[in-house]
Structure 1
Amino acid sequence: MTQATNADPQELAKFSELAHRWWDPESEFKPLHRINPLRLEWIDRQARLDGKRVVDIGCGGGILSDSMARKGASVLGIDLAGKALKVAMLHAMEAGTQNLEYREVAAEALAAEQPAQFDVVTCMEMLEHVPDPSSIVHAASTLVKPGGWLFFSTLNRNAKAFLFAILGAEYLLNLLPKGTHEYGKFIRPSELARWCREAGLDVVETRGMEYNPLTQRYWLSGDTSVNYLLACRKT
């Protein structure tokens, strides 16, 4: 798949339409705001973000990018949804976040331009929205320095994930806009781990993320049956 085609125009349009809502913690992006501290702590615990050069692939409105920069990293957030990037840039200016920039560029294109230039690569809640997720994994591997860290998160593909992430989150609890996810694009941990190994990465840790709709609490666990995160290092 070529660099120019590894994006779904409908997916880009969907997130661009909601762009102005990214930084409203009670909007459709409330779940991202709620899980961001968990993701940030998990990444920082392993990669020690302070002083590191980081690229955040599929950064959207910049929720994770901004928080990593505030941890002391020098962060480049990339995405192909132009409206979301404009919102991210505006928020960074208003918040006065230092060492943070955004670019509208594909991961594959940036990998060709800046191979082995980053200490850390993050790609969260993005792989299930592109036509060829393995291409993103390979680009991420190209971008990171030897010994560097890579962090991915996505959704497992099984009946429970369909029930929780689509029927539950989108239709019953209204945690996400209807149509946010397509079940056929969900990725089993074994598939993601295989793509990582094929890209020259060692899988270090896999964690699950769970949610209690009664307490509205999120937490990390060993249960990867729905949402999960994968940490890798470049060999």
Structure 2
Amino acid sequence: MPKTQNFDPTELAKFSDLAHRWWDKDSEFRPLHEINPLRLDWIDGLVSLNGLRVLDVGCGGGILADSMARKGAAVLGIDLASKALKVAQLHALEAQTQGVEYREVSAEALAAEQPGSFDVVTCMEMLEHVPDPASVVNACAALVKPGGHVFFSTINRNAKAFLFAIVGAEYLLNMLPRGTHEYAKLIKPSELARYCRVVNLDFLETKGMEYNPLTRHYWLSADTGVNYLVATQKSQVA
């Protein structure tokens, strides 16, 4: 039986309480707005999104999903945070975004319902918030077509990540609410690679994302010590 309850109620409540601020670019979600052009261009540069069927797992208020639809993709955003989804739907109506839909369903449940249905699956800034990230990776692999692409982004687990992503971002710079991330839930690239390898997702490219707090500038690099992104491709033959 597929796992359909892979979520932490505390995490859902945390993001639901902030749902009305998703599209406020000066809110707690400012970092997501600022990194979105980077991650969008990186994805679209590896796999042109125009005309593709795309799934965004853990879409929240729809920042990435909306921007991928504007690149010409037919996007389904899924999440288990009801309030965030309502905000995403309202924004799509107000912004008149074409080609994006939202649904309250887990990745595992959708994988059982629609296996092999998407050209591209994205799962960004989400794996570190669930009890069983390997289950989500497995669902993403099941949802993408053979030869299709799955993109992840998450945070490394090491002393540098603790210092920069938790102490720095949450307690010193106040870029994120305190308690946004739990160190024990962070994921090493080697662990994510293992999850992917088991479900026939081949690593294509890994990028680090860095930030200068003085200039408030983000950029992609080869340093995966803190935030990192991974591009994978589903094997044609299992």
CA distance in 1 between counterparts of 2:153 and 2:193 reads 12
Q: Output aligned runs, 1:143-162, within 5 Å.
A: 143-162=143-162
Q: Output aligned runs, 1:1-235, within 5 Å.
A: 3-235=3-235
- Asked if structure 1 preserves the Cα contact closer than 8 Å seen for 2:2 and 2:112, the reply is no
Amino acid at match of 1:121: V
- Tell me which stretches of 4 or more aligned residues in structure 1 moved more than 3 Å: none
Amino acid at match of 2:158: N
- TM-score calculated relative to the size of structure 2: 0.98
Amino acid at match of 2:99: N
Deviations 1:117-155 (A, max 9, x none): 000000000000000000000000000001101000000
CA distance in 1 between counterparts of 2:191 and 2:70 reads 33
Percent identical across equivalent pairs? 74
3-state SS in 1 of match to 2:120: strand
Deviations 1:45-96 (A, max 9, x none): 0110000000000000000000000000000000000000000000000000
CA distance in 1 between counterparts of 2:76 and 2:216 reads 31
- TM-score calculated relative to the size of structure 1: 0.99
CA distance in 2 between counterparts of 1:3 and 1:66 reads 28
CA distance in 2 between counterparts of 1:41 and 1:153 reads 14
Amino acid at match of 1:160: K
Deviations 1:163-204 (A, max 9, x none): 000000000000000010000000000000110010111000
Which blocks of at least 5 consecutive residues in structure 2 are unaligned? none
Shift of 1:116: 0.4
CA distance in 2 between counterparts of 1:115 and 1:6 reads 18
CA distance in 2 between counterparts of 1:67 and 1:141 reads 23
- Asked if structure 1 preserves the Cα contact closer than 8 Å seen for 2:129 and 2:185, the reply is yes
Amino acid at match of 2:54: V
Shift of 1:2: 5.6
Amino acid at match of 2:14: K
3-state SS in 1 of match to 2:4: helix
- Asked if structure 1 preserves the Cα contact closer than 8 Å seen for 2:2 and 2:109, the reply is no
CA distance in 2 between counterparts of 1:63 and 1:199 reads 28
Aligned-residue CA RMSD (Å): 0.8
CA distance in 1 between counterparts of 2:4 and 2:202 reads 28
How many pairs are equivalent?
Answer: 235
Amino acid at match of 2:89: M
CA distance in 2 between counterparts of 1:190 and 1:4 reads 26
